[in-house]
Chains A and B, each alone.
Chain A
Amino acid sequence: MPDSTTLLVWLLKAGLIYGGMLGVAAGMTLAERKVSAWIQWRIGPNRVGPFGTLQPIADGIKFFFKEEVVPRDANPVLFRLAPMLAAVPAMLTVAVIPFAGDISIAGVQTTLSIADIDMSALYVVAIGGLGVYGVILGGWSSNSKYSLLGGLRASAQMVSYELSMILAILSIVVMSGSLDLREIVAGQAGAIWQWNIWSQPLAFVLFLVATFAETNRHPFDFAECEPELVGGFHTEYSSMKFALFFLGEYCAMFVMASLTTTFFLGGSEVPFWADAPWFVQLGAFAAKTSLFLFLFLLVRWTLPRFRFDQLMAIGWKVMLPLALANVFLTGALASLGVYGS
């Protein structure tokens, strides 16, 4: 049983990290609109606060004041549960992400992540798999054909791409010989060419593509797909429940970007500065993550949506074989001792 100071420090960490993540999610809603505006030669929101920075708060207030509608024939329990199920897994995953290395708070020596568990990669995969429930249940419980189709698509899509994603993670795990994210990060310490992106380029590409599918982002946003399904799984949702779905989506984006950083870009490691202080490490992590978050936005406002059969074909006929081959190759190389010890 840890003493009270340690407990307080943990609570502080948890509060900071969750608060930070929600802040990033809110900021992403603004960034999404800003970047889309810039790409289209527009200015974007600039009325609320300086350069529109208070826009997310205004949006949040607006969501709270919107009328809450529950369809008459919807399943009342699941309909209310689904938004929570969509938001919570993404928040749970963030618990194991190592944002920075060792840190000393109020005399307590700890690390800048909420939980240090030695199978964190497995935990990430396990919890990440839950994310689909929110979408499926939301789609099904709405009792609307559009929502149902959106939910069905989301489930098929997530199952298909989770496979490739896990196999991509597997090759990293095989290479670094640990399921602990902190170990995986530590394995990429030192020079910039120590990052896994150079030793596992194929896994990186597969993982990146799978993250887009996992977060239901363009060009794989078949769960919403406005031209075909009105609003997809959240057609019947309004007010804060609707906002929770979006919060979940943006949190998932943040988590996926963090994981990509952790697995492939050396996480919080600063190149050529092994014992950098924690805030430099956090800064490095933030910079790398922002890169991927920006990529999410850039892709959304560049690429058109795939067709659903194309999505499935890519998932099962291209990505899965490639991922399998990659795992075999990595395994073979590992058994030959290429990756050391």
Chain B
Amino acid sequence: MTKITINGREVEADPKRPLIAACHEHAEELVPMYCYHPGLTPVGSCRICQVEVKMGEMPPRVVVACRTPVSEGMVVNTEAPGAHDARRQCLEFLLKNHPLDCPICDKAGECDLQDYSFSEGQGEGRSVEPRRKLEKRKSLGDTILLDQERCILCSRCVRFYEDVAKQPQLTVAGLGSRSVISTFADRPLHGNYQGNIADICPVGALTLKKFRFQARVWNLDKHPSTCGECSRGCSISIEVLRRREVKRVRPRYDKDKNKWWMCDHGRFAFDRFNADDRLVGGFLRGAQGLEPKSLERVFDDLAENLRRKGEHVLLVSPWLTVEEGELVRDLAQATGATTRFVSPAADTDLRDDFLHTGDPCPNRRGLTELGFEAVEAADVSTMLAGATCVVLVGESVGELVTPEALAALPRSIRLFLLDTRAYAAPALRGALGVPDASERTGTWINVDGHPGRLAIAKAAPDGVPPLERSLRAVQERLDAGAEVRA
């Protein structure tokens, strides 16, 4: 560790990291940055991170913090008038060609250029030259849209593909004021990590097509959660508009799992949170097929069926949390039922050596540690043959087993479905809505054993109780019945 002084305070800085990292760690005032990103190689192209450094007896100099190594005895002043002045001038040049379309820009509200212009900029431009005119709606593949006018050429996106994704696809093409970000030979972007360049773009130049004009970012409620698309369990932030609709999922920094990044597969999988064909409330089979019944009645009936003698199977969803898994295990012990979790087929073509594990089962490790054994989705039908009462528990379990397999189950099986969606099946005796991953709390254990918390990002539809409450209610009924018999 190296001893330096930042804004009058003596601190210890990591000599392997640039000065700006030490400033961010120790100075109270944030040193602005556009081209610098802690996960990328610093290049010092934007010059916005200038701070004043005094070494020994030399007069103080204004240097670029992201390209200055930390050395013993440095006296850094991030708030020096000279540094402020240099940063203000940088901003004026950056804003010279940056269009004033904040009102229609999706980045507005989380835009670094806006923030620093507000805190450090001079408020008005002196340039009388026209702004450069470039292409405002350039598509870079299926995911990303490039607005060349807004780009400040920080080259973060270029370096992301070089340093992180390890497959260079972008470059800065052209010279001088005609420089633009471009793919090689204008080929569309490919790969599973395109969305990250929209996250790290400090301005609104690279935006997600899927999020284009969907919401103003200040209207989004951000809820820390965990991605459920593979067993990596990336830390994410689920962003919800008006407490109802998930509009965007973004990676959340987690040093153990995904750092700053996430894959497009997980990023764009949130549509299922917005599905409106949800199973809401409780249903029991009556004279007219499945009839809506109160939750209490469904719990009673489920407990009654589990109490009967026979071969019971509790088949749970791979998205079940550890907490819910424990309750299912208790239920199985009380009824002597067999428990299995449905293991979906691996996405081998999505597997890579960066984030995606190819195993679309976010809690495989947690469920296995709880004692659940996996059953391949294809083998479910053979496993259920001969069972008397089958309870499918958890989000999307019906979809994994496939509706056709459900419909093909013989009527001799009394089937209960605790799922987010309803499926028609002759064997179906009762159904109950459960919340999806954006509507409940809990823990998933990822492939490396790191826990990932789920958070309630939006409310479950009316009439959908938390799964844990439903399981406890059934357990209570079983316990009460056992006492009566004893």
Direct contact of A and B (CB under 8 A): no
Contact surface of B with A, Cβ cutoff 8 Å: none
